[in-house]
Structure 1
Amino acid sequence: MSLIKSISGIRGTIGGKPGDGLSPIDIVKFTYAYCATLPSRKAKEEGRSRYKVVVGRDARMSGEMVENLVVGTLISCGVDVIKAGLASTPTTEMAVILSGADGGIIITASHNPKQWNALKLLNSKGEFLTAAEGKEILDLAEKEDFDFAAVEDLGSVSEHDFTDEHLDAVLSLEAVDVPAVKAAGFKVVVDAINSVGAVIMPKLLERLGVECITLNSEVTGNFSHNPEPLPKNLAELSEKVREEKADLGISVDPDVDRLAFICEDGEPFVEEYTLVSIAEYLFARAEEKAAREGVSLEEATSPYKPVSVSNLSSSRALRDVTERHGGRYMASAVGEVNVTTLMHKEKALIGGEGNGGVIYPAIHSGRDAMVGTALFLSDLAHRKLKVSELKKTYPEYHIAKNRIELSDSALIDRILEAMKNEYADEDINDIDGVKISFEQKRSWVHLRRSNTEPIIRIYSEAPTAAEAEKLAADVIAIADRIIGC
């Protein structure tokens, strides 16, 4: 059994003793702590006597059980609840905004297998809590100093499906060209992985005039394969795309915030390029608008700036496409909240993560597969290219993912410091572990500690797979030398 407590929420396997797995007691503790810290994040609005929180969930087998515990705890704390029901993570984030709620709790373990579930915690803007806010909740939950509401002060429950309102917002975006997508007559295969993607993705594609064939469309939470949208897990989708002679394959994870594409020939588009392709589309639009109007790129992207953001472990290709259109790229520490924090600071046009997470602040500041799909199809309709042809227009990079397992976590700092010394003449970023960039070779390697295990994760990227693996091998050799001392 596993229970992982972090500043972004609590996740674990269902069952087991309290503190070992995600037990009912743990769910109540952390939901209570979230309620108790609401006043420190937001004052009650005038004329409203209670706080209001949205609760949404993916289709996991444990989802209804966890939802009942979360909702019951919220009510017992005197908080009014809006149940969004089966809803994607971005739909629940949008629901907080649309309902004017004071926060939200998403019940999902994202790409983790079916035995996992989690509570993801939102503020009144429908965004994940900051590190400081998350720590406050973790600290309070451990104290177990409960004080529930009296019977006359219990919260209320209402239900509302926000799916259509979310899609209305997506399709009303200026950069989403619904007529062009409809005219293109696309055929698409969607792997909905037996979760809420089967609820929202066909609706989105229908409204875009796209013929949609859905795989794993039974909303059971009993995932038909490993739910992380990686090429090795998408063999069925690739085969169906070829069989149906479809224009595109779309894979989402169980809570539909990550997005991966399959080309018309059944080959992976590669999830790192999901964000790259959409950034290219948005920057090209902004550049064209600036040229037409005779203004600067910064004026053309108003109220946003011509800036893209991703985390340190994401592909350099985002930087390349941003700069070739006159924009500026910035990197954050790993973690969605770190990406969105930097995006807010820089008023970035687009951002996200290399795992297929697209964050487009023109609608909301969270990863959203519906937004990514609508923007990608709009670009594809304009470019009039096959998906495999579109992929060839981007800079080519390959990422290798490795790790160093250690018996003593105290070695981690020694190894990271040694890397900084070894590569002192290169470009080093140490805001999150150590990232070493080799500008002439257009390559990099990023080492960062695991939050839960004595492990150093190693991501490396280069124009070829062999070069990427060689970078990882070089730093592993240095680490082995340190370990042997």
Structure 2
Amino acid sequence: MGGRLFGTDGVRGRANDDLTPELALSVVRAAASVLADRDGTSRPVAVVGRDPRASGEMLEAAVVAGLASAGAQVLRAGVLPTPALAFLTESTGADLGVMISASHNPMPDNGIKLFSRGGHKLPDAVEAEIERIVTVLRRRTDTHRPVGAEIGRVGDLPRAADTYVDHLLSTVDRPLSGIRLVVDGAHGAAAAIAPEVYRRAGAEVHAIGCRPDGWNINDGVGSTHLGPLVEAVRAQRADLGIAHDGDADRCLAVTADGEVVDGDAILAVCALALHERGALKEDTVVATVMSNLGFHHTMRDAGIAVLTTAVGDRYVLEALRARGLSLGGEQSGHLVFLEHATTGDGLLTALALLSRMAETGSSLARLASVVHRLPQTLVNVPVSDRLAVVESDEVAGAVNAVEAELGDSGRVLLRPSGTEQLVRVMVEAPTQRQADEVANRLAGVVAAVS
């Protein structure tokens, strides 16, 4: 695995190729040493979970061995969603949590997501320290290892899934009776839990994508493949559909007519609900730079401020914690309800959306219509030096000219890729034609400078 070890959301790669058992073992050994040092704990406790990918069995064995080798007490939670792992890390008082999942990526991939005490994703500085230690561990064989009674022990965490389900249901104030929904579990970590949660909350549930076999996760289903959900909602004459990804930390929805409701609209619906109850702290919601300008307009018109962060739900969470806010999220469907969760939670998000429908008696289409989404065009421009391009005076001048042209009716975002020599040019405008024209014009400037 070349380049930086940690990406936007943990360590991710092709299982048993660039993400090997040896690398997984080194990562968690390093994580245990860093997080134990930060918390002053001589024998850290670690909770380990995974999604149902076949490679997760192999990587779980390596992760458990690495943690025990570092002297940790290991609690295996089994197959469960990433937000469940974060919740259990907090509720058990563990020093770290390890989730083995590649989220929405296809089956050959896998990943390792790390959580510190309290169930929080790691800041960049901590990830950098873990990465430094991984480099040392992979180069040296004479590093100190616990022996004898200092070696960690391994056991199973009892009622892990049940504890998480009980937590989710505790957030529902009223029965969801009368709501008919289709849930797509992406053949992933929430395949067993999600239908049960929504049924126990009172909804009538039809499930698809809930038969994982180790190989079919995200295969033509889930939040990145909404076609089957749209078809099922129409066939079942359901009120809505809920789509999760492989580790269920996100949620997208479709209306009874099959229209997609993205994270911006879901975030707006939930923000307005909290705002009406006086429960939206500082009347502020957190969103990323990718949120549509239509979302910003909706929040402004409701008297809600928007705090904008970089892409990634961990940056949303950092902003929430720093300001003591209650709600934030991403266009992709990662929403964080800080009162109830320490990370994006797709099931919690769906329950909040369903509760709003039950409270108002409104359809999902009517609730989501508060956001008038502006047409958006995204152009990926190959460049030789992505950082130099975005710092170019010529590019800055072109962006300033376009922003003046669009005014408050549009938006421009230039963003270097985090992993490739690409600059992403995103434009929102009143019409698709104008968005296309402006985006292609800026892309030409970026290409010429590079």
TM over 0.5: yes
For 1:346 and 1:437, locate their aligned partners in 2 and report how far apart those are by CA, in whole Å.
Answer: 32
1:414 maps to 2:381: no
Q: 1:227 to 1:245 in 2, by over 3 A?
A: closer
Residue of structure 2 equivalent to 1:268: 260
Residue of structure 2 equivalent to 1:103: 96
SS at match of 2:85: helix
Report the Cα offset of residue 229 of structure 1: 1.5
Match of 2:40 among 34, 40, 43: 43
Match of 2:276 among 275, 284, 291: 284
CA contact (8 A) 1:113 1:227 kept: no
Q: 1:186 to 1:3 in 2, by over 3 A?
A: farther
Residue of structure 1 equivalent to 2:68: 75
Q: 1:439 to 1:308 in 2, by over 3 A?
A: farther
Q: 1:135 to 1:437 in 2, by over 3 A?
A: farther
Residue of structure 2 equivalent to 1:353: 330
- How do 1:48-447 residues align onto structure 2 when only pairs under 5 Å count? 50-144=43-137, 145=140, 146-160=143-157, 161-173=159-171, 176-179=172-175, 181-182=176-177, 185-221=178-214, 222-223=216-217, 225-226=219-220, 229-230=223-224, 233-286=225-278, 301=280, 304-406=281-383, 408-409=384-385, 412-417=387-392, 418-424=394-400, 440-447=407-414
For 1:12 and 1:333, locate their aligned partners in 2 and report how far apart those are by CA, in whole Å.
Answer: 23
Report the Cα offset of residue 254 of structure 1: 0.4
Give the partner amino acid of 1:356: G
SS at match of 2:326: strand
SS at match of 2:134: helix
Q: Deviations over 1:94-127 (max 9, x none)?
A: 0011101111111011111100001111110211
SS at match of 2:376: strand
CA contact (8 A) 2:295 2:371 kept: no
Q: 1:325 to 1:167 in 2, by over 3 A?
A: farther
Give the partner amino acid of 2:285: S
For 2:405 and 2:256, locate their aligned partners in 1 and report how far apart those are by CA, in whole Å.
Answer: 34
State the aligned residue count.
442
For 1:168 and 1:463, locate their aligned partners in 2 and report how far apart those are by CA, in whole Å.
Answer: 45
Residue of structure 2 equivalent to 1:9: 10
For 1:158 and 1:279, locate their aligned partners in 2 and report how far apart those are by CA, in whole Å.
Answer: 41
CA contact (8 A) 1:112 1:228 kept: no
CA contact (8 A) 2:263 2:330 kept: no
SS at match of 1:305: helix
Give the partner amino acid of 1:414: V
Report the Cα offset of residue 244 of structure 1: 0.7
CA contact (8 A) 1:2 1:13 kept: no
SS at match of 1:198: coil
1:465 maps to 2:432: yes
Give the partner amino acid of 1:332: T
SS at match of 1:249: strand
Q: Deviations over 1:280-317 (max 9, x none)?
A: 2222332xxxxxxxxxxxxx54xx32211111112234
CA contact (8 A) 2:84 2:164 kept: yes
Q: 1:252 to 1:81 in 2, by over 3 A?
A: same
Q: 1:341 to 1:437 in 2, by over 3 A?
A: farther
Give the partner amino acid of 1:239: E
Report the Cα offset of residue 364 of structure 1: 1.8
**Could you state the TM-score of these two structures normalised by the residue count of structure 2?**
0.92
Q: 1:227 to 1:147 in 2, by over 3 A?
A: farther
Report the Cα offset of residue 166 of structure 1: 2.2
For 2:80 and 2:417, locate their aligned partners in 1 and report how far apart those are by CA, in whole Å.
Answer: 30
CA contact (8 A) 2:293 2:373 kept: no
Give the partner amino acid of 1:14: A
Report the Cα offset of residue 38 of structure 1: 1.9
Q: Deviations over 1:67-110 (max 9, x none)?
A: 11101110111100111111101000000111011111110111
For 2:259 and 2:64, locate their aligned partners in 1 and report how far apart those are by CA, in whole Å.
Answer: 43
CA contact (8 A) 2:72 2:153 kept: yes
Report the Cα offset of residue 446 of structure 1: 1.4
For 2:438 and 2:51, locate their aligned partners in 1 and report how far apart those are by CA, in whole Å.
Answer: 39
| Greater displacement, 69-78 / 335-344 | 335-344
For 1:93 and 1:169, locate their aligned partners in 2 and report how far apart those are by CA, in whole Å.
Answer: 12
Report the Cα offset of residue 167 of structure 1: 2.8
Report sequence identity in percent. 28
| CA RMSD in angstroms, aligned pairs only | 2.2
Q: Deviations over 1:176-197 (max 9, x none)?
A: 3323x22xx1111111111122
CA contact (8 A) 1:50 1:80 kept: yes
SS at match of 2:315: helix
**Could you state the TM-score of these two structures normalised by the residue count of structure 1?**
0.86
SS at match of 1:6: coil
Give the partner amino acid of 1:225: D
Match of 1:474 among 426, 435, 441: 441
